[in-house]
Amino acid sequence: MDTNNKPQLTIYNSHSRKKEAFKPLNSPYVGMYVCGPTVYSDVHLGNVRTFIAFDVVYRYLQYLGYKVRYVRNITDVGHLVGDIDEGEDKIAKRARLENLEPMEIVQKYTNGFHDVMRIYNAISPSIEPQATGHIVEQIEMVQRILDNGYGYEVNGSVYFDVVKYNEEYPYGELSGRKIEDLLSGTREELEGQQEKKNPLDFAIWKKADKGHIMRWNSPWGVGFPGWHLECSVMSTKYLGETFDIHGGGMDLRFPHHECEIAQSVAADGKAPVQYWMHTNMLTVNGTKMSKSLNNSFLPHELISGDHPLLEQGYSPMTTRFFMLQSHYASTLDFSNEALQAAEKGYQRLMNACKALDKMHYDGDDNNYNQEETDAINQLVDQAFEHLSDDFSTPQAIARLFDLSKKINSYNEKKLDINNLNSNTLNKLKEAFPAIVFDILGLQDESASDNAEAMDGLMDLILDIRKEARDKKDWDTSDKIRNVLNTLNIVVKDGKEGSSWGMG
């Protein structure tokens, strides 16, 4: 794409609750932080949706010519069971249940998360920091908060003073909540509240009891960091005290992101983020996806179809395409009908890409159909305009379908490709696959299937050749090798058998 003519990118800012023109602090450099998974169990589809959405943001920003530093954390400590500051660390609890060390749990589920991201073709972030690797920095931020008067220590734990902070800065601004309403709606009798000045105060460092496995020395005694603290520390460490984009699921807006803002402002006196972006929730047949309702499924269940609610398995690219047919900030409803429709829609785009790739121009640039040429140019431009309108993938996909109809008509000779001028055809041949593959991040799964089929076929051929060699049938053995050579396939014989590769 000609970056000199790129459309103005706008982003819906969850903080201001309106679309704003995207103006990076240090253009062309962009800092983007996305809250990553807590690695105590298999990644769920809500996570997948969020990370696919921000994968498209990452891809499109790069396509527009920005140099993006994308930071996505791994939460491997400090995330307590429940919504209060007491309880058992989720990772420690899973370690106890599986009779493993906490770091074994972390490694196991981090590996699983990465596997899922590869399956769905999400690009790895620039930096993927872990909370346990930044304990020193978290302790330092707690100390700055204390030094600035926005925290207090009680019995080895340190709490953030929300009421004191709110006297100077508006706590609740991101989520649109008023502190008076929050205070009146908080149950005073919740366990652990006896140490706090106010029920809204949250732990930024928690004293570890004797049974707590993950624990570190600090100026306040042995303990561990509060969950909200890690993102404030790692985002600003790698992107600066104020950076461009912070993303995550809608469920993190309060209290997690609200607390992030408060911590950063209290520690360093600066609002940390220009643009807050949040993805919406998943539903199944109109009902909230939940384990308790038995209507949630893991990525591998979706792929295999091994779930009572699924009529069949759905490939990773079908699912990725399905997710992108809904705007990231809209509720996304899973149903077999919707997934099956997405399967057909995805295949339409793959077929259009293949047909477009084979098209050649034999026309005359001095004699073309202006109306037809204008129509193609307009559809291509509109697709990019939609992507630049808060990353509206559904509308961009709608324009891709319009273009697919045109491509099919050219392919089937219902329309003459030579009615276009060469510049327009070249624009179409560049933009269409760029949006499909580079920006939306789709892959042609049939190409993967062909690769697997090729591997299987070559294994069979090498087995046949081995049988011929074992029988000393050198003519057949040499014939197989020679024919493969003409196809640019090279067979290598070694002590451990034969192997093949492309010449």
pLDDT digits (tens, 9 = 90+) for 52-75: 999 999 999 999 999 999 999 999
Mean pLDDT on 11-19: 97
188: pLDDT confidence band, cut at 50, 70 and 90?
Answer: very low
CATH code assigned to 284-439: 1.10.730
Q: Where are the domains of the chain?
A: 3-279, 284-439, 446-502
At 83, is the pLDDT very low, low, confident or very high (cuts 50, 70, 90)? very low
Mapping DSSP to helix (H, G, I), strand (E, B) and coil, where does residue 108 land?
A: helix
- Name the most confidently modeled range: 114-128, 456-470, 485-499: 114-128
CATH class of 3-279: alpha beta
Give 137-161 pLDDT, tens digit per residue: 999 999 999 999 999 999 999 999 9
Q: What angle do CA 48, 104, 251 make, to 5 degrees?
A: 30
- Of 359, 58, 85, 317, nearest to 200 by C-alpha is 85
The DSSP H or E segment spanning 30 is strand 29-34
Sheet with 151-154, edge to edge strand ranges: 151-154, 157-160, 202-207, 223-225
Q: Residue 209: what pLDDT?
A: 87
Residue bearing the bigger pLDDT, 307 or 291: 307
Q: Is the peptide bond before 255 cis (omega within 30 degrees of 0)?
A: yes
**More confident position, 481 or 261:** 261
pLDDT, position 82 = 39
Report residue 90's pLDDT band, with 50, 70 and 90 as the boundaries.
confident
Q: Residue 181: is its pLDDT beyond 90? A: no
Q: What is the percentage of the chain residues whose pLDDT exceeds 90?
A: 70
pLDDT score at 100: 86
Rounded average pLDDT over 437-464? 80
- Only one residue has tokens 């792929």, namely 303
Q: Do domains 3-279 and 284-439 have the same CATH topology?
A: no
**Sheet architecture: strand order including 243-249:** 67-72, 29-34, 243-249, 273-279
Would you state the pLDDT for residue 315?
95
Higher pLDDT, 95 or 119: 119
Least confidently predicted of 78-92, 203-217, 455-469: 78-92
- 484 has pLDDT over 70: yes
CA angle in degrees (0–180, nearest 5) for 58-51-336: 125
Residue range 245-289, pLDDT digits in tens = 999 999 999 999 999 999 999 999 999 999 999 999 999 988 888
Q: Is the pLDDT of residue 189 over 50?
A: no
- The neighbouring-strand residues paired with 203 are 159
pLDDT band at 84 (very low <50, low <70, confident <90, very high): very low
pLDDT tier at 22, thresholds 50, 70, 90: very high
CB 342 within 8 A of CB 325: yes
Of the candidate ranges 85-89, 92-96, 262-266, 440-444, the one whose mean pLDDT is the lowest: 85-89
Mean pLDDT of 451-460: 69
pTM given for the model: 0.88
Q: Check residue 191 and give its pLDDT.
A: 46
Mean pLDDT, residues 29-55 taken together: 94
Please say if the pLDDT value at position 81 is more than 60. Answer: no
What is the per-residue pLDDT for 455?
72
Q: Is 80 exceeded by the pLDDT of residue 502?
A: no
Which of the two residues, 283 and 296, has the higher pLDDT score? 283
Report residue 210 as tokens.
């004797």
Q: Which residues pair with 34 in a beta bridge?
A: 72, 247
Q: Are 163 and 169 in contact (CB under 8 A)?
A: no
